[in-house]
């Protein structure tokens, strides 16, 4: 307890995330580790509870999936406490992509990380007024998102939504999109791309490449942007492996690194998923807030993951693909 009676540690618990069997364990461990526990009761609660807790708490943890964590980070942001309140994640969702990316392996491990783990200052993405930690994905419908099974989400992460969108819709309406990226600190130039996109992925902590759980550098102030061009539909519907599509030699993939970008639909509003939470708009401004959030990370977290060949950052390599 703080001197004014407010809790130093607050845990925002989503009781209906994942397979819903985490509640007793999370409460028991949370209480053991000195947390005041606040349960969400409906959509929007994670943000509200974190906003109310952040001014007094040193640490606010999110127990749930990526959506719950997204709400908690937005609440800390709305309270203007990003730099003063540490955030943590207790993975209790289906996919738990972000937790995996920051080296948090499970519920018990999450409390060990909170007690003994490092704190890192990580980038946060802004999409108009909203924040995201993992990714912003366009072209995945809310319908496909809600129908995606837990097993599939756990296995493929966001690619599951892509697969589900293609499976449920069969033929897919591409997005006539214009994208403008700003110049970056490593020689990335300001660029524009316009065309028919199937999907657009903006990764903050998430890298959309051939490997499933690839973590992007989340302390470099840059997004990793991947566009899947419409020409890829034929391949995808023809059964080409999704992961193969993201390989380095794919001709239908455009990649960019940038601190900020604008996505502009040339036709209707587009549905974007911010860490799994939906947002519909025609024009979206995305910007990184470099190293804006202190986060409790596990040993598996890599501040500077290997870039590999898919994400060339030198000027000479910054070609069209």
Q: Which residues bind ligand ATP (CB under 6 A)?
A: 14-18, 40-43, 45, 64-68, 93-96, 153, 276-277
Q: Which is nearer to ligand ATP, 84 or 149 (CB)?
A: 149
CB closer to ligand ATP, 40 vs 260: 40
Residue nearest to ligand ATP (CB): 65
Identify the DSSP state of 178: E
Closest distance of CB 275 from ligand ATP, Å:
7
| 3-class DSSP state of 146 | helix
User: 267-272 long-range CB contacts below 8 Å, 24 or more apart?
Assistant: 267/175, 267/176, 270/138, 270/139, 270/175, 270/177, 271/138, 271/139, 271/140, 271/141, 271/142, 272/127, 272/136, 272/137, 272/138
Q: What are phi and psi of 236, to 5 degrees?
A: -65, -45
Beta bridge partners of 89: 62
Tell me 76's DSSP state: H
Q: Are the C-beta atoms of 221 and 205 separated by less than 8 Å? A: no
In the complex, minimum distance from the CB of residue 311 to ligand ATP, in angstroms, rounded to a whole number: 25
Q: Rounded to the nearest whole angstrom, what is the least distance from the CB of residue 35 to ligand ATP in the complex?
A: 18
Whichever of 45 and 58 has its CB closer to ligand ATP, that residue is: 45
What radius of gyration do the chain's Cα atoms show? 19
Nearest-angstrom CA–CA distance, 178 and 277: 23
Minimum gap (Å) between residue 278 Cβ and ligand ATP: 9
Does residue 298 sit in helix, strand or coil?
coil
In this complex, which beta carbon is closest to ligand ATP, that of residue 41 or of residue 194?
Answer: 41
Q: How far is the CB of 103 from ligand ATP (least distance, A)?
A: 16
Which among 197, 223, 189 is positioned nearest to 208, based on CA atoms? Answer: 223
- The nearer residue to ligand ATP, 67 or 125, going by C-beta atoms, is 67
Give min distance, CB of 62 to ligand ATP, in A: 8
Cα–Cα distance, 152 to 284 (Å, whole number) = 28
Distance CA 118, CA 195 (A): 43
Q: Which is nearer to ligand ATP, 12 or 179 (CB)?
A: 12
- Tell me 173's DSSP state: P
The least distance separating ligand ATP from the CB of residue 155, rounded to whole angstroms, comes to 12
Shortest CA distance to 72 belongs to which of 53, 44, 46, 99?
46
Nearer CB in complex with ligand ATP: 98/193: 98
295 or 311: CB nearest ligand ATP: 295
Nearest to 125 by CA among 110, 141, 137: 137
Min dist. Cβ of residue 68 to ligand ATP (A)? 3
């Amino acid at each position: 307890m703080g001197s004014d009676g407010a809790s130093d540690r607050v845990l925002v618990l989503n009781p209906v995330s994942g397979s819903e069997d985490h509640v007793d364990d999370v409460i028991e461990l949370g209480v053991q580790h000195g947390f005041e526990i606040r349960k969400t009761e409906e959509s929007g609660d994670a943000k509200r509870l974190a906003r109310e807790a952040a001014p007094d708490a040193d640490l606010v943890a999110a127990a749930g999936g990526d959506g719950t964590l997204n709400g908690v980070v937005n609440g800390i942001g709305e309270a203007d406490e990003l730099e003063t309140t540490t955030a943590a994640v207790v993975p209790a969702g289906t996919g738990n992509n972000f937790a995996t990316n920051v080296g948090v392996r499970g519920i018990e491990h999450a409390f060990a990380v909170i007690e003994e783990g490092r704190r890192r200052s990580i980038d946060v993405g802004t999409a108009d007024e909203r924040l995201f930690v993992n990714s912003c994905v366009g072209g995945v419908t809310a319908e496909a998102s809600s129908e995606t099974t837990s097993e599939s989400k756990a296995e493929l992460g966001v690619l599951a939504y892509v697969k589900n969108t293609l499976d449920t819709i069969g033929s897919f309406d591409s997005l006539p999109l214009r994208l403008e990226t700003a110049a970056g600190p490593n020689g990335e130039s300001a660029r524009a791309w316009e065309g028919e996109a199937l999907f657009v992925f903006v990764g903050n902590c998430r890298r959309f490449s051939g490997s499933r759980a690839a973590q992007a550098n989340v302390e470099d102030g840059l997004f990793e942007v991947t566009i899947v061009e419409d020409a890829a539909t034929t391949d995808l519907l023809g059964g080409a492996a999704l992961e193969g599509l993201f390989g380095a030699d794919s001709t239908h993939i455009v990649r960019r690194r940038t601190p900020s970008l604008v996505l502009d639909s040339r036709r209707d509003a587009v549905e974007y998923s911010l860490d799994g939470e939906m947002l519909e708009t025609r024009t979206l401004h995305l910007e990184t807030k470099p190293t804006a959030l202190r986060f409790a990370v596990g040993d598996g977290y890599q501040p500077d993951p290997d870039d590999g060949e898919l994400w060339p950052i030198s000027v000479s390599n910054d070609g069209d693909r």
